[in-house]
Structure 1
Amino acid sequence: MCKSDKKALEELSKEQLIYLIEQMDKSLCLISEACVEESKWHIESKDAVKKIREYIYSMPSLTFPEETKAYIDMKMGVISVKKYRQIIGLE
């Protein structure tokens, strides 16, 4: 883990960290299911890759810690979508 990711994780509250862990665990389970589906030939390889890519993109990024904290708060219902958009500079 790089130093910037570690710093970003240290800035999260316990509730935010729990949410992040739950989301990553959910995404990893879905990725595993896509791999099993492909290995059993229930889906094509290209479809499995597409699903896996979607699951990876759905995980919150740690690149911008303030935006990540705001995103998690919005998903947990702590702040509104409007407030989140203000924080990230869309409004």
Structure 2
Amino acid sequence: MSANNNIGLNAAGNTEIIGSNLSADADQNYSGDVNISAGEDVLIAESYESVNSATSNTEGTATLSVSVTNQVVEVAKAYENLEAADEQFKEIKEDYRQNLWP
């Protein structure tokens, strides 16, 4: 807290000033007062830096399955499926002709 002249703090109960700078002569002209009045106690104390840290670890396992296939095998399977579909189409076409012209 800074002021060019006076600082006045009044409290009905306790007054605590912890880790603060009070300057009643901010303009550095050598005048100004800090007045503190309390109905009970006045505490002026320095502050301390503290650091709290927490760490946590999580452990687990995972399973990865990898399947590697040869593209030639896949193409051969696709060709077989295409031949089977072509054969089925021919059968359906023949059945349709027989039912259309008995």
The verdict on a shared fold, with TM-score over 0.5 as the criterion, is: no
The structure in which a higher percent of residues are strand is 2
Per the shorter chain, which TM-score range? 0.3 to 0.5
Report 1 or 2 for greater relative contact order, CA contacts < 8 Å, sequence distance ≥ 6. Answer: 1
